[in-house]
Chains A and B, each alone.
Chain A
Amino acid sequence: MAKPPVPVPELNAKFGPHLNFAPPGGWDKSARLGPDKLVKTHCSFCGMQCGIQLKVYENKVVGFEPWEEFPFNHGMLCPKGVKRYLQGDHADRLLTPLIRTEDGFKSISYEEALDTTARRISEIRDKYGPDAVAIYGGASMITEKAYVLGKFARVAIGTKNIDYNGRLCMVSAGTAYRLTFGIDRATNPWTDLVKAKVVLIAGSNTADCAPITTHYLWQCRENGGKLIVVDPRMTPITRNADLILPVRPGTDLALFLGMLHVIEREGLTNADYIEKYTTGWDAVRDSVRAWTPDRAAQITGVPPDSIVTAAHWIGQTDRAMGIHARGIEHHSKGVENCLAMINLFLSTGNVGREGAGCMMVTGQGNGQGGREHGQKADQLPGMRSITDPEARRHVSAVWGIDEKDLPGAGLTACEIMEAIHRGEIKALFSMCFNPVVSLPDANFTREALSKLEFFGVIDFFMSETAHYADLVFAGSLQEEDEGIICSAEGRVQKINKAVEPPGEAKSDALIICDLAKKLGKGKYFDFPSTREIYDELRRASQGGLADYYGITWERIEQELGVFWPCPDLDHPGTRRLFEDGKFWHKDGKAHFQVTEWRPSGAPLDAQFSLYLTTGRVVSHYLSGTQTRRIGPLVEQYPEPKAEIHPRLAAKHGIEDGDWVRVTTRRSSMTIQAIVVKTIRPDTIFIPYHWPGRRSANNLTHRTLDPRSKIPEYKVSACRIEKTSPPSDLDELRLEETGWSGASANGGSR
């Protein structure tokens, strides 16, 4: 219904981001008192889901202690993990539900918030139909919340329109793995990376976005393995790369087609493997015949010799692995990029063995688990298709509803925002999602949110998206709930509750169940705690692809994680997929997929002759709702900067530290330049964690991959020019980052 009720600086003065530097009570107090207990759990940031012990004193998280016994990270943590404890006892923490008034947000009681939300959702549903109400979920929360949110949408509201922010993250990979392998999970445990002789790292800024994986890759190299890195930038992982393929943004597909051409032409395929375990090879083989290294080089900007070498290295070993991330997935051909990369490994038989496989590096904390159990537009729990009659019958039976009342596939995250903009969706209820920062074309997102008749949010901080809400519930942080997540390698892990939510803040799952009761559907949401939700999830997933039936909370704690699928209590879990040569399609085979080259959705022209690409930095997480409030992480990278090559800088008279204007077909932003030789001269990189005038997503475009519906964050046509710094720089900094610009460490990268 509205724009922010009062100007954003006023909201920020009250709700932050403010920066927290010290543990509760200050350094002296925490040092003097020591903790009441150490709680073994996992980091709230990123798909590595490192084990960590939280120090708790008087219901506050006051610090951390490494958890060296946890087998994935052995105590290793990135700076986000080290400082994550600073998010809990934070001045910005929402302690009561808030309702929009003309004077800004005012506290209301929990009961009042439930009543208002249920009433408004019911009114809109009755007036416009259930699909006019949409639900947004997220992949940074425990799987129990994701599960109960999916059930809430379909059972309590009856809408088909639920989707989650993993739509901006994992869906290209997921779609490709479903198409080829019949299942959407990393194929190998991370320990396999150490055993590989060649690792192809494509579009993964591993050191910044999955820092712990670096150790695995360095150990691979200590063992004599070779690393090939595909990226338009030289990220820290390239410092020990054996072969660097600095691909032009948006052309990864051509690179992979060129590599497969060489593999096929030189007889480096594994014909026995292809014959025995796969279908569809002939069509793929024919499709790459025209992709000579020269042709691939012309499109990608990677030398033909390098393409040939990379193909040789993969084709000549029986232990090749591939890891890829958003760099190849955030494209209007993100699915094809993944399919073409998988084909390199499948055609050489590098699948389903120790040190042989191809897998995605999941980005969000519960990026894997969050997509398995029913908050995805097209899926039911257990990674079941919502259009599969048998899946619908099974889940309806577990839920105790008539299958006819179960909605079908709904709109995806970006499509929901477009439907809101068109006026078709009138109400939105969002949890664990900050679309104002994370969706492409942020001005469009802001316009859309202003059109809603009702917008309800659950969050622990006042996110930039919550500024647009009519009502904000004070929700729970990860350390305030008990449940499970699934890490990037497919290991189901236990999140343990360290503290109770403060003030009138409530567990997100409890809020959802209470809302369902207010909507008259209480009997389907009679869950005293997340444990009962999990037990129902196990049954709902039983027999599905992501079968959790055999994974109990107790088993996870005893075994330090269990890999799904795990269909019964005696099943050991599945660390590595396809070891028996069996894939998850009905015919038991892997299905090669033909991919066809096409350009990106934002082609260059004379006016916009450069590529803009976006991504992350090591000290921030996603839309920054949490990390932009943690002082040491903000000091490490306080504000966005535009990386450009000295050749491009010289052309425009730009020097390191100058202010530049970057313009795309949608918008422009003024930002400081960092001039480095580690990025292609035709490419500009801007990290996306920030809101407001320097939000990278003001510049990006809404072209989606036709199958995965992921936006094309990694390629936008742009131009650059030198300009003067904003006249209100100090206010701007405070407003957008809470950072005064005073720190000695600030802006070090």
Chain B
Amino acid sequence: MLGFEFYVDPSRCIGCRSCVAACAECDSHRGQSMIHVDYIDRSNTIATVPMVCMHCDEPTCALVCPADAIKKGEDGVVRSALKPRCIACSNCVLACPFGVPKVHLEPELMMKCDMCYDRTSIGLRPMCATVCPSQALSYGPPEAIARQRTSVPVRDFRFGNEHVRTKVFIMMPEEHPVLDVDIEDYMWREPNEQAERWIIDQAVFS
């Protein structure tokens, strides 16, 4: 839908798995869900996180695919692997920085979220974001999100030196415009210093 964006706010997730249930309803994947909802650490907390495909600008899954089976559309949506091309090698599964794609043994095909292309192309919101009772998954115009939420949308992620920009936004507290997921990003380093130094240092000590 024109101008609508996809937002994930893990702090709103109540772990109800309505998104998982709804995703499985899609006629194109017949009972299989493309979404994961995980407890972060059930023994210590009720906190859960929903994970959908983040639809990277430069999708690592596509870059590592030896069969050239994964395509990104002009709309920025990264599609599931093309059935005739996918060789079920699982390169994409290993390479995805967010752990999204899964290879299904039957029918030997990589499947992932395509942001409900069948729905958005006819003016409907993706199923998971429509049903989500807590709106941890949300699909709408950026102005509405800006008006309704105190958190801010973030779509730039640093994995060490690798910068990944995605189509999907994660909602974050205002003071974190870029989401650092690696401890190295919080370590002090000289300007222009390469991160490899820490590994070298360790080699020196060992």
Q: Which residues of A contact B (CB under 8 A)?
A: 21-22, 27-28, 30-31, 63-64, 66, 68, 75-79, 81-83, 207-208, 211-212, 214-215, 218-219, 222, 234-240, 618-619, 632-633, 636, 646, 656, 674-678, 748-749
Contact = CB atoms under 8 A, between A and B. Distances in A.
B109 to A, nearest CB: 15
B131 A222 contact: no
Given A222-B148, A222-B150, A76 B16 contact: no
Interface string B1-36: 000000000011111111011101101101100000
Given A77-B133, A78-B133, A238 B16 contact: no
B83 to A, nearest CB: 16
Contact of A207 (B14, B31, B43, B45): B14
Contacts of B90: none
Interface centre among B22, B47, B131, B135 (most CB of A within 10 A): B131
Contacts of B31: 21-22, 27
A689 B130 CA distance: 28
Interface string B140-184: 000000001110000000000000000000000000000000000
A28 B131 contact: no
Contacts of B42: 674, 676, 749
B82 interface: no
B63 interface: no
B141 to A, nearest CB: 14
B134 A211 contact: yes
A413 B21 CA distance: 35
B44 interface: yes
B96 interface: no
Contacts of A239: 11, 14, 45-47
B21 A27 contact: no
Contacts of B46: 234-236, 238-239, 678
Nearest to B24: A632
Contact of A215 (B17, B28, B125, B134): B134
Contacts of B25: 63-64, 82
A627 to B, nearest CB: 12
Nearest to A237: B14
B17 A675 contact: no
**Chain B at the A interface: mostly helix, strand, loop or mixed?**
loop
A238 B11 CA distance: 11
Given A211-B14, A240-B12, A66 B133 contact: no
Given A31-B27, A76-B135, A211-B16, A83 B21 contact: yes
Contacts of B150: 222
B32 to A, nearest CB: 10
Nearest to B127: A66
B134 to A, nearest CB: 4
B111 to A, nearest CB: 14
B149 A222 contact: yes
B64 interface: no
Given A31-B30, A236-B15, A676-B43, A79 B21 contact: yes
B43 A76 contact: no
B130 A68 contact: yes
Given A208-B16, A236-B14, 11 more contacts: A76-B131, A78-B131, A207-B15, A214-B14, A240-B11, A240-B12, A618-B16, A618-B17, A636-B21, A677-B44, A749-B15
Contact of A636 (B17, B48, B127, B130): B17
B132 interface: yes
Given A214-B134, A235-B46, A75 B16 contact: no
A678 B44 CA distance: 7
Contacts of B39: 748-749
Contact of B18 (A63, A77, A235, A238): A77
Contacts of B134: 207, 211, 214-215, 218
B10 to A, nearest CB: 10
Nearest to A74: B130
A79 B15 CA distance: 10
Q: When A and B form their complex, which 7 residue pairs have the shortest distance between CB atoms, in order from nearest?
A: A27-B30, A31-B27, A207-B14, A211-B133, A236-B14, A79-B21, A82-B21
A82 B18 contact: yes
Interface in B44-75: 44-48
Contact of A212 (B12, B130, B133, B149): B133
A41 to B, nearest CB: 16
Contact of A79 (B17, B44, B125, B130): B17
